[in-house]
Amino acid sequence: MKRLQFLAIAIGLLVTSVAHSQRPLSQATGRRGMVVSVSPPATRAGLEILKAGGNAVDAAVAVEFALAVTWPAAGNIGGGGFMMVHPAGGGDVVCIDYRETAPGAATETMFTRNDGRYSHKIVGVPGTVHGMVTAHKKFGKLPWKQLLQPAIILARDGFPIDRSLASSINSVLRSRSTRSAKRHQELIRVYGPSEGRSWTTGQKLVLPDLAATLERIANQGADGFYKGKTARLLAVEMASGDGLITEKDLAAYRARIRPAVHGTFRGHDVYGPPPPSSGGICLVQMLNVLEHLQLRKHERFSVRNVHVLTEAMKRAYCDRARYLGDADFVKIPPRLTSKEYARTLAGQIDPAKATPSASLAPEIQLAGESPETTHFSVVDAGGLAVSNTTTLEGSWGARIVVKGAGFVLNNEMGDFNWFPGTTDRRGRIGTPANRIRPGKRMLSSQTPTIVARDGRPVLITGSPGGRTIINTSLQMVLGIVEFEQDLPTAMKAARIHHQWFPDRLLYETHDGAITAETATRLKAMGHRLSARRRTSYQGDAHSILINAKTGEFHGVADWRRNGLAAGY
Ligand code: DON
């Protein structure tokens, strides 16, 4: 009987996954504007703002707030992220860093081995609202209040949920850890199904407390979140558990506008986010290395290409562990993105043999990530381009909803190096650069990316996926620039991931990209391979390609989770 049940589940999974990878892509073309995000109502919110005369940053702000309502596992006002902006008509590409910070009372050793990932003390000071205010002040055109209207209406009047959202809410509500602890009761109250035991597609989700919080942000700007009622509710929520965030921490939070990390690759300019994200530096470093390795002369998934790509990844992620953290607190060697350094690294790759990860950083003593994040892309008729990744860290963050304020809190403190000195083969990092300090931003892998040519954006991309994010962005850039694929082909291509430790190459299996023979040969070279389960994909890279000749936008939503591309 058990065996039969197992067989039925296995067949079910296979059917779903086959159906999933063959699902038609949501794609759109246009010349005046394009928005691609994971959540159809959020994409529509952005499009509505573009059509009302807003620019890409206005639309991005509207999408961000709408996602806080319609994609609560990752969309947020209680989290943070990175927004890359390529100004219309050229000029400096900047990154609005709205990463969370450690509260004033945080200490390097505040976490013990018994700490879980769903507590009050794992919450970082949220950056999203200040990030959006900062982006709007610098680039926005429409009045601030107007940008929040779509989100407020969605939260206040409710909206029918789709299959993806129903399954996300049902799974967080069903989880034993959510049901058992008192700190999650507000999440259960706010997101519990209006009728029946679980959510079904088409039922309406109404979020009145969140609507009221969004109203305060619409009316008072950053003060509507970081001061007054919202700040008080958040501080009270923190005090009800082991949380550290105070009203003072909230009042002190500032997003930063930082220069983008810049690299070049095959005649293109590549822009990624600077520290506290590791994304820009690692992406540029890997592209610099790959410039020497002529991937396009070989089959995309040949043994040779998978080998050198993996070796480039390993080295970049090793440097990430060694050196990267919040540059306001630690000094980061400038050579990491230099062409000379990349030449040295490329020269160290043995064409016939995998380098064991441990041998890359002998000085680091070795002791014996889950969705959600979300990425969206926007471009407007003037060529202003926005690449934005935002997160609560884990799916539904700390799974704590601020009582009376209706929003979910992040668990981003988990992105710091929790145990100083403990770097292990499973991927835990304990090096100094990313240890906890009050006010410091935790290291991120978010990699919203803009590729430009002759001062004009050609590709806007990025992804969720924890440490896999950087490699997903890398492979999107390679698909378009190195292999000259169209966007749907680059999007559908199987993705691979190596992050130094665990010393293991993880790969997607759809379309049989890495064949059994390739896998056997890679193993013989010393690689350790691990195929992803058929239902567990890498990333969700909602992207826009801009045709340099015709100026036409092509938006494609990744099929791996959910999404809508809409343009006009
Ligand atoms: O900032 C980071 O790198 C992580 N907090 C992102 C987490 C993530 O992408 C989980 N999602 N899919």
Q: Within this chain, do residues 549 and 466 fall inside the same structural domain, yes or no?
A: yes
Does residue 12 lie within any of the structural domains? no
Q: How does pLDDT run across 324-340, given as a tens digit for each residue?
A: 999 999 999 999 999 99
Q: Are strands 496-497 and 505-507 parallel, antiparallel or unpaired?
A: antiparallel
Residue 371: predicted pLDDT: 55
Would the CB of 391 count as within 6 Å of ligand 1?
yes
- Read out DSSP for 299-315? -TTSHHHHHHHHHHHHH
Q: Within this chain, do residues 109 and 129 fall inside the same structural domain, yes or no?
A: yes
Would the CB of 76 count as within 6 Å of ligand 1?
no
- 212: which DSSP letter? H
Pair of tokens at residue 133: 């205010």
Would the CB of 64 count as within 6 Å of ligand 1?
no
User: Which single residue is written with the structure tokens 């040519």?
Assistant: 453
CB 270 within 8 A of CB 288: no
Report the atom number in ligand 1 closest to the C-alpha of 278. Answer: 3
Does residue 455 lie within any of the structural domains? yes
Q: Within this chain, do residues 340 and 252 fall inside the same structural domain, yes or no?
A: no
- Ligand 1 centroid from CA 472, angstroms: 12
Tell me the CA distances in angstroms from 205 to 186, 275, 399, one per residue in order.
15, 37, 18
Which residue, by CA, sits nearest to atom 9 of ligand 1? 466
Whole-angstrom Cα distance, residue 83 to residue 374? 12
The helix/strand/coil state of 188 is helix
Helices (H), 244-364: 247-252, 279-290, 303-323, 339-347
- 480: which DSSP letter? I
Does residue 20 lie within any of the structural domains? no
Best residue among 97, 373, 441, 470 to mutate for probing ligand 1's pocket (most ligand atoms within 8 Å of CB) is: 373
Q: Within this chain, do residues 141 and 231 fall inside the same structural domain, yes or no?
A: yes
Q: Is residue 373 flagged as an active site residue?
A: yes
Catalytic one of 373, 389, 391, 423: 373
Pair of tokens at residue 38: 């994971």
Q: Within this chain, do residues 169 and 229 fall inside the same structural domain, yes or no?
A: yes
Chosen domain end from 257, 274, 309? 257
- Ligand 1 centroid from CA 394, angstroms: 7
Q: Within this chain, do residues 296 and 236 fall inside the same structural domain, yes or no?
A: no
- Cα–Cα–Cα angle for 235, 237, 242, nearest 5°? 95
Would the CB of 387 count as within 6 Å of ligand 1?
no
Pair of tokens at residue 480: 């378009």
Does residue 347 lie within any of the structural domains? yes
Chosen domain end from 257, 285, 318? 257
Does residue 415 lie within any of the structural domains? no
Does residue 280 lie within any of the structural domains? yes
Which contacts of 196-200 are long-range, i.e. CB under 8 A and separated by 24 or more positions? Answer: 198/166, 198/170, 198/173, 198/174, 199/161, 199/165, 199/166, 199/169, 199/170, 200/166
Q: Within this chain, do residues 242 and 306 fall inside the same structural domain, yes or no?
A: no
- Strand 529-531's sheet: what is its strand order? 496-497, 505-507, 529-531
CB 217 within 8 A of CB 225: yes
User: Which single residue is written with the structure tokens 């994909």?
Assistant: 537
- Cis omega before residue 276 (within 30°)? yes
**Rounded-to-10 torsion of CA 170, 172, 177, 179:** -50
CB 497 within 8 A of CB 507: yes
Chosen domain end from 236, 257, 278? 257
* Number of domains the chain is built from: 2
Whole-angstrom Cα distance, residue 325 to residue 432? 9
Question: Is the dihedral angle over the CA atoms 435, 436, 438, 442 positive or is it negative?
Answer: positive
H or E stretch including 146? helix 144-157
Phi, psi dihedrals of residue 461, rounded to the nearest 5°: -150, 175
Residue 366: predicted pLDDT: 79
Does residue 109 lie within any of the structural domains? yes
Whole-angstrom Cα distance, residue 460 to residue 480? 11
Q: Within this chain, do residues 282 and 183 fall inside the same structural domain, yes or no?
A: no
Low-confidence ranges of the chain (pLDDT < 50): 1-19, 369-370
Whole-angstrom Cα distance, residue 236 to residue 255? 23
Which residue, by CA, sits nearest to atom 8 of ligand 1? 466
Tell me the CA distances in angstroms from 111 to 107, 400, 548, one per residue in order.
9, 18, 50
Does residue 386 lie within any of the structural domains? no
The CATH number assigned to the domain holding 348 equals 3.60.20.40
Q: Within this chain, do residues 276 and 341 fall inside the same structural domain, yes or no?
A: yes
Would the CB of 444 count as within 6 Å of ligand 1?
yes
Would the CB of 465 count as within 6 Å of ligand 1?
yes
CA-wise closest residue to 135 among 193, 104, 96, 80: 96
Q: Within this chain, do residues 272 and 138 fall inside the same structural domain, yes or no?
A: no
- Ligand 1 centroid from CA 88, angstroms: 29
Pair of tokens at residue 119: 């507590």
Residue 22: predicted pLDDT: 66
Best residue among 100, 324, 369, 467 to mutate for probing ligand 1's pocket (most ligand atoms within 8 Å of CB) is: 369
Would the CB of 373 count as within 6 Å of ligand 1?
yes
Whole-angstrom Cα distance, residue 277 to residue 328? 12
- Ligand 1 centroid from CA 120, angstroms: 19
Report the atom number in ligand 1 closest to the C-alpha of 469. Answer: 9
Contact partners, residue 499, CB within 8 Å, separation at least 6: 313, 317, 427, 467, 468, 471
Phi, psi dihedrals of residue 382, rounded to the nearest 5°: -80, -10
Q: Within this chain, do residues 174 and 236 fall inside the same structural domain, yes or no?
A: yes
Whole-angstrom Cα distance, residue 499 to residue 507? 12
Q: Within this chain, do residues 332 and 300 fall inside the same structural domain, yes or no?
A: yes
Whole-angstrom Cα distance, residue 540 to residue 235? 34
Domain limits for position 129? 26-257
- Ligand 1 centroid from CA 465, angstroms: 6
